[in-house]
Structure 1
């Protein structure tokens, strides 16, 4: 009799579990279609908590975001401690093995597998992600920006370590809307191949879906400063315009387009030969590699004969990614473009595409000459690799993304930022 009762109890528990699971699925489906029930507690499993956090849980992210000096100093000391730096490393093999079970991988890593609002579902985005190393950086970036209605093209440098290529391929295979670029290339810094990597992803994204509204290109050391909903709202406010750095070419950079360059091994070098003027007498503008542009801009890049002529002309220049997109943005009839007149110039500070701290623009607090406060991390090629002390300033900016972040240098900055964004994304549901 006692065994019979225990059997009935087990059956009732299983039935209760099934009913709760069905209730959660129904709730989530309602969320995806715009109905937000008051019992939204079912989303608590998507929050980042100390129970599933890494070694960084000892940091006080709230105090860091408030700019409290004691918490920031503690984070700085921890970030340079050998044992801590070793503890936050995740091997490429971990991602290869973990992604063999995609359902478990997405659950354990707390990926958002349903749209959090109707507004986001109706405004899908397209991302190009150009990567060559640091798989953990890439995976945490993907998780931070992932939404099932968006599309993600991943370009891994063909000269990357085989374990990097295998790990990223394994991760992308777990998502129907994340894919490896169809034509990967060997990327050389400041050479044409950096542009070609984005061009190949642009073509794949344009052909894979007609639904997405805006294109954003990223590298593996970027990280968002806004939730997906905030990004959507910011792009809606553009009303079809593009947002990217595009301004008059400074004299100090003109050598890049006046002289021809070629590759010698993995190094780009000048040939000493003068280049012909750009086609159609196009004014060449200065910018950077990262852009926020509408679908029509991408269509023009892929189909406009004027742009094709500009692309061919640019292939033997130095660092073409720092003028090509900026120049196209000022060409007549390109969707979302502006006139080439100097009054339409836009700096990287005014554009929303990317927040970057250059060492020569930094200055002490209160300095009127400084563009932004001093870097609280370290510098690589004159660019600030953000530390936890930069977060308080960073989240007050209007940019959608920031560069650079590095798990090897300061994982606390990434850890606190991803927790901040996830909490904000879930709190936006009402």
Structure 2
């Protein structure tokens, strides 16, 4: 044994170059094995990440699945399970999207997903429900609509964080949600300005904006100061996606019953006159919980027929005079454990000697000149200040200005009644 070790030592000393070369080769072999092992683990990690991305989006497999309604119960593509390159899956997904876009002439919207924590708006065939028949109280059509509602119960609302992510890509969002980017000549002749007073239900408010939005109109959004910060940020992100949508320059805290209910519209009116004077002919005030029954084209036709007159409701018989002869305010109620709006029974000074009070809705169709009169004339400003301690001024402010002839409000009611029918 000793002789063998001695012979090996003598051999290595005589041929040391071969020994060094052997050690280098062994080292390189071990290094290559280490590299291959780590590369395999990285690929595995990337595959998992890609799989999660596919799961999150829940794409359709085929166009047939889309047509059959399988998109309500999607079968996601898992790159890892199928042991296929992700790019191949992505190509197949793009093909399905292209086929659907070509056939339905609209971009696909975000799909329904049983796996995801939310359900988002999508283009979805709702059967053969005729909305016009439902509006006419057609019993058969109403029953059909009710059965559809039972089959597809209410959706889980989309988180505002998700909306913020979508709104970070404005062009894609507008295309996916189907905003109408064109308008008829009639609509462009009669541009409209809208105010939206919102404080909750962003999804509903966005649906409302989508229904009324046209590129030639102007839109002002007022957000209640009491709304959560994330709601404010999401609404502002929505406004940034459109050149003709803006947030009111002054936001107020809205309290039920008092003059603050009027302020969202007044704030938007001031901004529309100050910054967009001449770019619109009529003003329509809405809340986030409303939805139009007329198309934008029909609204433009109605505005043309009114031709400078206002569409503001007013009734003498419905007016509750205690709301304007007494001062009203807020106080804490021990019984209800909350702030309530109440009649103080303190006598209020008269606004004008000959003024007649009318009660009606605060929503209407206001001409450009009437809006200018409300926010710039002495009468409009004085009456708003006088209304600050009245009861429910939103139900008599515009109405009193519109129906008292001697106040000379543009587009006001002068006692003539003309009935015009739209074909």
Structure 2 counterpart of 1:62, from 107, 130, 133? 130
Identify the range of structure 1 (180-189 vs 222-231) with the bigger mean alpha-carbon deviation. Answer: 222-231
Q: Which residue does the alignment assign to 2:40?
A: none
> TM-score normalized by structure 2?
0.65
Q: Aligned in 2, Cα 1:345/1:305: closer, same or farther, shift over 3 Å? A: farther
SS at match of 1:306: helix
Q: Which residue does the alignment assign to 1:359?
A: none
Q: Which residue does the alignment assign to 2:409?
A: 334
Structure 1 counterpart of 2:227, from 147, 160, 165? 160
1:92 is displaced (CA, Å) by 2.0
Runs of 4+ in 1 over 6 A off after TM superposition: 47-53
Q: Which residue does the alignment assign to 1:322?
A: 395
1:269 is displaced (CA, Å) by 2.1
Instruction: Find the aligned partners of 2:417 and 2:397 in 1 and give their Cα distance.
Output: 15
Q: Which residue does the alignment assign to 1:368?
A: none
User: Contact 1:46 / 1:112 at 8 angstroms: preserved in 2?
Assistant: no
Instruction: Find the aligned partners of 1:290 and 1:63 in 2 and give their Cα distance.
Output: 24
Deviations 1:85-139 (A, max 9, x none): 135x32322221111000000010111123x222222321111111111111100
Q: Which residue does the alignment assign to 2:322?
A: 255
Deviations 1:131-158 (A, max 9, x none): 1111111000000000111000000111
User: Contact 2:259 / 2:392 at 8 angstroms: preserved in 1?
Assistant: yes
Instruction: Find the aligned partners of 2:103 and 2:346 in 1 and give their Cα distance.
Output: 62
User: Contact 1:259 / 1:270 at 8 angstroms: preserved in 2?
Assistant: yes
Q: Which residue does the alignment assign to 2:169?
A: 101
The structure carrying a bigger strand percent of its residues is: 1
Structure 1 counterpart of 2:153, from 84, 90, 113? 84
Deviations 1:380-412 (A, max 9, x none): xxxxxxxxxxxxxxxxx98xxxxxxxxxxxxxx
2:287 matches 1:219: yes
SS at match of 2:411: coil
User: Contact 1:248 / 1:345 at 8 angstroms: preserved in 2?
Assistant: no
Q: Which residue does the alignment assign to 1:6?
A: none
> TM-score normalized by structure 1?
0.64
Q: Aligned in 2, Cα 1:247/1:314: closer, same or farther, shift over 3 Å? A: same
Q: Identify unmatched segments of 5+ residues in structure 1.
A: 1-41, 353-396, 399-430
Structure 2 counterpart of 1:124, from 188, 191, 201? 191
Q: Identify unmatched segments of 5+ residues in structure 2.
A: 1-101, 113-120, 333-338
Q: Which has the higher contact order (CA 8 A, sep 6+)?
A: 1
Instruction: Find the aligned partners of 2:226 and 2:417 in 1 and give their Cα distance.
Output: 37
1:50 is displaced (CA, Å) by 12
User: Contact 1:249 / 1:284 at 8 angstroms: preserved in 2?
Assistant: no
**Structure (1 or 2) with the larger CA radius of gyration:** 2
1:49 is displaced (CA, Å) by 9.9
Instruction: Find the aligned partners of 1:178 and 1:313 in 2 and give their Cα distance.
Output: 31
User: Contact 1:60 / 1:71 at 8 angstroms: preserved in 2?
Assistant: no
RMSD of equivalent CA atoms:
3.1
Instruction: Find the aligned partners of 2:109 and 2:160 in 1 and give their Cα distance.
Output: 24
Q: Aligned in 2, Cα 1:46/1:305: closer, same or farther, shift over 3 Å? A: farther
